[in-house]
Structure 1
Amino acid sequence: MAYDPALYELTHRGNPGDVEFYSRACEGARSVLELGTGYGRIALGLAAAGYEVVGLELDPGLLELARAAKAAQLEAAGAEVKVGAATVSETDSLEFVLGDMRQFELGRRFDRVIIPHSGLYCLLEPGEVASCLRAARAHLCPGGLLVLDGYAADDFHEESLPEDVPDDQLEPITEIEAQGTRYTVFEQSRWDRDSQRIDATYLYREEPSGREVRYLLPQRYLLRRELEALLDAAGFSVSLVRGSFSGDAYDEDAEHLIVIAEAS
């Protein structure tokens, strides 16, 4: 079942400090391409900071939310907004387009390509990751930068055994309200070490009726050495690896794998 975009937006709110990090990483750039833009959270923040941003998204429902958020942002800023089939604005610096990050052609190049919030982990085969990185490289200006983040996986992958990490039980993580309906949200993760998969199930329980709906969010995490090899093969030179959005080292205590790579 496809993830309900409204429930996704209310549940997955990003990581503290990530918008500010990507804004810093784009300093000196004019144009930015975000792959897997989702409902536009980071793209909207970058556009508000003055960057020219294109957000690419495969899910039509999330893309609709992103475009609605763009219209609301323009309206709040006093820009002219037209609803329906007409374009929102011909002069604003933010555009959302439907497309697949595994293979795309936009007919232009950018100073930065960004893949936030473990977006690269949503590609479940190494060949898909390689294809995405090649497409990103083809869309970068000479000397342009690719900036991405994912959760850190090296330490638990190397140090843990599957029998030591049983499948999670469903645990409540938040409460939300969507279109007048209240939900308690539960999460459960399953780890497959051999395939580098962590598949998360999100259960939404309506209150007070108790009706439930589940969505699966599959991911294949990347190890640092694997990602660096894929970047090298795609024509990138890794210039920075960090373990947090505030610049901490990537070590056994890191929560994130943050990489900046230059188009070589």
Structure 2
Amino acid sequence: MTATLEDVQLGPRARASVASFSHLVVDDLYGPDGADAYEAIAGRDATEVREIVAHTSRTTGAILDLAAGSGRLTLPLLTLRRPVVALDLSPAMLDILDKKLARRDSARRLCRTVHADMTRFSLEERFGCIVVGTTSISLLPDAAARARLLDCVRTHLAPGGTLVLTTVGVSGDRRSDEEQVTEVATDAGAYSVFEWLPAGSDRRFISVVTVTGTTARLFTSSIAVLDPEDLRAELERAGFEVRETAPLGPPDGRYRDTLLVATLSRAAGSS
């Protein structure tokens, strides 16, 4: 079924930007068509990459990159010269990653891509480090889905293994309805990126608009506003011990990414 404006939640500025177009295509940002837009906008974003690779380098063994997407973290993790499994729910995203790997013989030999849901997967391997980057845990709809993810992570960690993940919280006023707009020019085209956090909401809504002639394409997604302390509590309930937390990015932005490093608690590891 083709999505329409009535099917998605948009901020007022995003809605106004597409209202006048005679032809509008609405799709998920992680769908087959949205994957190219996501890659054009976020593929070169260096946020958290250095920190995640640094923490992963302190571990040993194979690496599992969950919600790997088009490889924004996978490729840097492969510089550690260790086996990496890149798992994602989107075949379109994995197709982009596979094409990148095909141009890198050494990386291709070390990396395996897996099409699966990060909340319901089962692999025969155990990993020295599992990465959930790009605030991907915030894409999950609720605490129950996050609990399923952490259950899978617990099952797939090798003894002494480490979980490295990021989350996004709000550093500014959560009562504000202000909608942020960023214009992004890439080789693949120009994009307007709208971020809207409705007052009192626990999710922010992302809208990406690109225009060709009289046709506008709208790609949408939503991200949970997940406070690091709330996520720490969820990790502890799931049998993890948080060893380190560190803020990422500038302190004056409205949203603040936080990196958390966790291991299985002794009780969980012995069960």
1:2 paired to 2:28: yes
Q: CA contact under 8 A between 2:184 and 2:192: conserved in structure 1?
A: yes
1:132 paired to 2:149: yes
Q: Distance in 2 between matches of 1:262 and 1:14?
A: 29
Q: CA contact under 8 A between 2:71 and 2:97: conserved in structure 1?
A: yes
1:47 paired to 2:78: yes
Listed as ranges, the matches of 1:159-238 within 5 Å are 159-161=173-175, 165-168=176-179, 171-178=181-188, 183-192=189-198, 194-206=200-212, 209-238=213-242
Q: CA contact under 8 A between 2:167 and 2:227: conserved in structure 1?
A: no
Counterpart secondary structure, 2:65: strand
AA at the equivalent of 1:188: F
- How many residue pairs were aligned? 234
1:262 alignment counterpart? 263
CA shift at 1:166, angstroms?
2.2
Specify whether residues 112 and 105 from structure 1 end up closer, same or farther in structure 2 by C-alpha distance, changes over 3 A only: same
Uncovered stretches (5+) of structure 1, i.e. residues with no partner: 80-88
Listed as ranges, the matches of 1:31-110 within 5 Å are 31-74=62-105, 92-110=109-127
CA shift at 1:172, angstroms?
4.4
CA shift at 1:174, angstroms?
0.7
Q: Which has the higher contact order (CA 8 A, sep 6+)?
A: 2
> What fraction of aligned residue pairs are identical, expressed as a percent?
23
2:24 alignment counterpart? none
Q: Distance in 2 between matches of 1:65 and 1:133?
A: 27
Q: CA RMSD in A?
A: 2.4
Uncovered stretches (5+) of structure 2, i.e. residues with no partner: 1-26, 266-271
Q: Distance in 1 between matches of 2:116 and 2:229?
A: 28
Query: What TM-score results when the alignment is normalised by the length of structure 2?
Result: 0.79
Specify whether residues 103 and 194 from structure 1 end up closer, same or farther in structure 2 by C-alpha distance, changes over 3 A only: farther
For residue 159 of structure 2, the aligned residue among 142, 153, 160 is 142
Counterpart secondary structure, 2:103: helix
AA at the equivalent of 2:179: D
1:83 alignment counterpart? none
Counterpart secondary structure, 1:41: coil
CA shift at 1:114, angstroms?
0.5
CA shift at 1:44, angstroms?
1.5
Q: CA contact under 8 A between 1:243 and 1:255: conserved in structure 2?
A: yes
Q: Distance in 1 between matches of 2:168 and 2:92?
A: 25
CA shift at 1:140, angstroms?
0.3
Specify whether residues 251 and 146 from structure 1 end up closer, same or farther in structure 2 by C-alpha distance, changes over 3 A only: farther
For residue 49 of structure 2, the aligned residue among 8, 13, 19 is 19
Specify whether residues 54 and 193 from structure 1 end up closer, same or farther in structure 2 by C-alpha distance, changes over 3 A only: farther
Query: What TM-score results when the alignment is normalised by the length of structure 1?
Result: 0.81
1:106-133 deviations in whole A, cap 9, x for unaligned?
A: 1221000101111001101111011101
